[in-house]
């Protein structure tokens, strides 16, 4: 399970957001992405939001890799809709709604009330 922590950079007197893993070290891919966003001078609120959303996604991936059974809809659920065809302008952007991703019922999400 990962957690988001705020840290102060020694010597610069700046705050940064870190996503820390179970080994109490920053998660390297997320740290690189947050450092890039900081380099291009994103808003501190944007950095904080990205850190929290990437933490949720990282925990989701960890649960999915553990093979936790998914709780899907019952047999009476409607079949999934076919995706809409995107125009060329819409294809150039990627939008991910993390709240709509199926969440495996693992302890990480149940402890936070997200499953």
DSSP string, 22-54: TTSSB-HHHHHHHHHHHHTT--HHHHHHHHHHH
Phi-psi region of 16 (alpha: psi -120 to 50; beta: other; left: phi over 0): beta
pTM beyond 0.85, yes or no: no
Tokens found for residue 31: 């740290």
- Structural domain boundaries of the chain? 1-69+100-115
pLDDT tens digits, residue range 6-59? 988 788 778 888 999 989 999 999 999 999 998 898 898 999 999 999 999 998
pLDDT tens digits, residue range 49-105? 999 999 999 988 888 877 655 555 555 555 555 556 555 555 555 556 666 666 566
The residue written with tokens 């950095």 in the block is: 47
């Amino acid at each position: 399970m990962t957690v988001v922590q705020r840290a102060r950079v020694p010597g610069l007197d700046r705050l940064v957001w870190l996503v820390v893993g179970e080994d109490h070290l920053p998660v390297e891919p997320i740290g690189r992405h947050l450092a890039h966003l900081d380099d291009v001078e994103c808003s501190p609120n944007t950095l904080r939001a990205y850190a929290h959303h990437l933490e949720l996604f990282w925990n989701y991936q960890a649960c999915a890799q553990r093979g936790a059974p998914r709780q899907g809809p019952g047999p009476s659920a409607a079949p999934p809709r076919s995706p809409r065809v995107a125009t060329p302008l819409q294809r150039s952007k990627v939008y991910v709604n993390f709240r709509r991703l199926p969440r495996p019922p693992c302890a990480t999400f149940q402890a936070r009330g997200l499953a």
